[in-house]
Structure 1
């Protein structure tokens, strides 16, 4: 595990860190009060700022951390950074220094040296000194575990995976190590860890719902099942794989494309072309095929109907899809003024939203580290190409929430290497506040998030995430572009 876990649709553990450091009722009440002030008006923000400066008189590091966090949320990035720096000096063996020091463990590539650094860090910052919270130690153990898995030391990898203490995070730790073991071909060990992760996550979905962290622990269940199925598939245990892939398909709505692909893959491996054909045809009718599942459907089609007529069959399945999606999108239309902005593209050219008034603008907030963002790009490429000859429709891909100083180079390289015809703008952090101003102005909480802005400059649609179907995604964009400008 590297640093803190990435944000939201690219992530979901960010909240776990704050949850895991549960305070007493009085502290929780105060934090709730501060949060209410944060949601208030300018006068409330002034009061909150005063109270945060007051916390800096405290002798408790937790109060300094609270102050730094709220200063950051008040968009006082420099003040927040100054508080954090001062806290490191005031509490040299405290939480902030401990959490900064662990980075050396994450960044060390060699498993043996990583373990040595971990033991030194553990001795310097013994868990008993920091109360009941153990998640930062679990992240470190997980890092050592995965390094040993990468080095083919299965015994050590499993031992460190099993040393994770936080009940709600055990499944994530087991699964993380299992995925590395699976990549290295250690299927038996990977299966054991994944089976434990599945069983634990299931218990949090059923009998342990009220326990601390249950919501997070339960979310991993479909993913653990899918990875376990991959183990069974690699070992050609197709009947068992079918049992578990059915459980994965039943565990979430909508079913992720990867689950459907593996389901079809197992059926094809068993020679059950008819069932694979039926399942994939149903997915195609929903516009949810991607390149891989389309290839699977063509394989099944060829076995059943022969080599000719596949594209025509595919088109027949999608009949009515556009109208169905249009009717669904019509229920989601909104009307809010779109915040104006001026950003530069990867070559330094300035682009403002106001200069595009009179055009329909699609904003796509993304980052190079965001897996779902990148997964959506083949579909977005099709959408861009659909409107390439229409000067009234403009797509802007706004790179935000960068993780390092090479954000511009990383974005340019990714787009160029993948031959995406995208206009990429850079929403870089403001040096004074530490805020990415445009993503903040649009109140984005997770990426990918897309907005459709009409010709008058109003937001008509906002949608987050990516369901995985290329045809459906293009149909959704087309429907929103049309609906955005209807009177």
Structure 2
């Protein structure tokens, strides 16, 4: 799969740092908000937006042409947008678009030495100083080279590139990404150094630098970086130090992510503190967030604290109130609006229409093969399907959308088959004229995975974006939405 070049991000950042217009003209960020307002408006507003975009094509700034291409695309005129982009590439040789297209060769190359040579040639041809202060696309390229060297086991080069990132808000991501591979290779000391810098960087963006560009992105990694740092301490058997830092990770967010509790329990069990591990893991089980590892940890702690028998009944008792609690919470989120109708082909060529499913409760799951969180939710969705396998009035449909490759249907079918998922996958393919995935657009989906529960009358009753990490909780959420939709 080809890496998506962040043309839009670069364009936005470039626009944001442009000098203000003359005194009586709005600043660039005000113009962007103006365009977005028109885009969300009525037909007259959108017509005005289109006129203003064509006016931008009379200017001599490539950033304006990129803006025009992006907004024309959002006006569902993919062919026109593509024509503008191609014209811009010819009109502005050596510019932003040419640079962003040229970087693809670096991502495509597998050998780290060749990758580095391509990077050097690319930077020489498109020197950063020519494009203003934005450095993120250069950081992405450097990171790609660095990760290739890291995977190849070249420690000096791995560290060199991990420390070469220039965008302040992205430094932590680069350090932590390299450190993750180093941990797998057993280079704990080097990984610790990188992770400690990532932790400190994220903490600064959470506190003293929270108003800087990208602060939210930089800060969100704090608990994860701490957990990875603790993993290094654990491998070196520095359990007391590991406890200090895992407690910081635990306090960093509410609710605490399951991976932090998993690492916490790992340390506690190694120290023989079964009582504390038992308490923390029991709380996790009560939230329905156990995975195979934490379940095994809880069983170990339970055996030490309460003996060898009765673990499964205890586990069931912890989950006893889960379904009722989740249904009570889901009841607060119920909605009622007509579900847009659609007719799509599945990966086997069968035609499926939502109208034909009236009288059934339909669970609609928008996903894509490139979407990690989508795929991570599938074991839970498989369990949810199994729960309703004997109920002919509940139908699960998985709509693959926002495809990024030509043979999307083949890839989707291959993924589902290889993982033994019993899903019926529908293909919401891109319209060749508008560039729009019509079904996902009609449901106004902004990110995937997004799930809908549609009742027997064809009304959307629930909309849920993202996924819950624990299988028990995720299955209970789906079940609660189905039950409430049927009332």
Task: Confirm or deny a common fold (TM above 0.5).
Answer: yes
Report if aligned partners of 2:195, 2:229 keep a CA contact under 8 Å in 1. Answer: yes
Report Cα offsets for 1:365-413 as digits up to 9, x if no partner. Answer: 1122222212211111111011111111111111112221232122212
* Cα separation, partners in 2 of 1:439 and 1:412, compared to 1, 3 Å: same
State how far apart, in whole Å, the 1-side matches of 2:302 and 2:411 are.
40
**TM score, norm. by length of structure 2:** 0.94
Is 1:244 paired with 2:258? no
Alpha carbons of structure 1 residues 321 and 19: separation in structure 2 relative to 1, 3 Å: same
Does the 8 A contact of 2:15 with 2:28 survive in 1?
A: no
1:215-274 CA-to-partner distances (Å, cap 9, x unmatched) read 211111122112222222222222222222222222222222222222222222222222
In structure 2, the residue matched to 1:31 is: 32
**How far 1:71 moved relative to its partner?**
0.9
Count of aligned residue pairs for this structure pair: 480
Residues 2/299 of structure 1: CA separation in 2 closer, same or farther (3 Å cut): farther
CA–CA separation in structure 2 for the residues paired with 1:15 and 1:484: 40
1:147 partnered with 2:148: yes
Matched residues in 2 for 1:5 and 1:257: separation? 32
Query: Alpha-carbon deviation of 1:95?
Result: 0.2
Q: Is 1:412 equivalent to 2:452 in the alignment?
A: no
- Greater relative CO, 1 or 2 (CA 8 Å, sep 6+): 1
Query: Structure 2: how far apart are the matches of 1:416 and 1:404?
Result: 18
Listed one character per residue, the Cα deviations across residues 5-63 of structure 1 (whole Å, up to 9, x for unaligned) are 89xxxxxx986873475233422222221111001011111111111122112211111
Q: Is the 8 A contact 1:21 1:133 kept in 2?
A: no
Q: Is the 8 A contact 2:109 2:115 kept in 1?
A: yes
Measure, in 2, the Cα distance between the counterparts of 1:86 and 1:370. Answer: 32
Q: Distance in 2 between matches of 1:98 and 1:62?
A: 13
C-alpha contact 2:62 2:92 (8 A) present in aligned 1: yes
Does residue 59 in structure 1 map to residue 60 in structure 2?
yes
Partner Cα separation in structure 2 for residue 435 and residue 290 of structure 1: 38
Q: Is the 8 A contact 1:20 1:135 kept in 2?
A: no
> Corresponding residue for 1:179?
180
Equivalent pair of 1:98/1:125 in contact (CA under 8 Å): yes
SS of corresponding position for 2:403? coil
Question: What does residue 84 of structure 1 align with?
Answer: 85
2:361 is aligned with 1:360: yes
Q: Distance in 1 between matches of 2:235 and 2:433?
A: 52
Deviations 1:280-310 (A, max 9, x none): 1111112111222212212222233333222
State the partner residue of 1:22.
16
Q: What is the rounded CA distance, in whole Å, between the counterparts of 2:261 and 2:443 in structure 1?
A: 34
- Partner residue of 2:271? 270
Mapped contact 1:332–1:461 kept (Cα < 8 A): yes
Match of residue 68 from structure 1: 69
In structure 2, C-alpha distance between the alignment counterparts of 1:16 and 1:264, rounded to whole Å: 42
> Quick check: 143-152 or 332-341, which moved more?
143-152
Q: Tell me if structure 2 keeps the 8 A contact 1:16–1:213.
A: no
Q: Distance in 2 between matches of 1:211 and 1:335?
A: 40
User: Who is 1:167 aligned against?
Assistant: 168
Pick which of 397-406 and 21-30 moved more.
21-30
* C-alpha distance in structure 2 between counterparts of 1:412 and 1:459, whole Å: 27
* Number of the residue aligned with 2:195: 194
Moved over 4 A (4+): 13-17
Structure 2 Cα separation of the partners of residues 390 and 236 of structure 1: 51
8 A contact 2:365–2:398 mirrored in 1: yes
**Structure 2 partner of 1:45:** 46
In structure 2, what is the Cα distance between the partners aligned to 1:288 and 1:17?
41
- Matches of 1:155 and 1:147, distance apart in 2: 12
- In the alignment, what sits opposite 1:3? 3
For 2:99 and 2:44, the matched residues in 1 are separated by: 36
- How many Å separate the matches in 1 of 2:250 and 2:8? 26
Equivalent-residue separation in structure 2 for 1:471 and 1:404 (angstroms): 34
Q: Unaligned stretches of 5+ in structure 2?
A: 21-26
**Which has the larger displacement, 269-278 or 63-72?**
269-278
Partner secondary structure for residue 275 of structure 1: helix
Partner Cα separation in structure 2 for residue 5 and residue 177 of structure 1:
21
Residue by residue over 1:303-359, the C-alpha shift from the partner in whole angstroms, topping out at 9 and shown as x without a partner, is 333332221111111122211111111111111111111111110111111111111
Equivalent in the alignment of 1:10: none
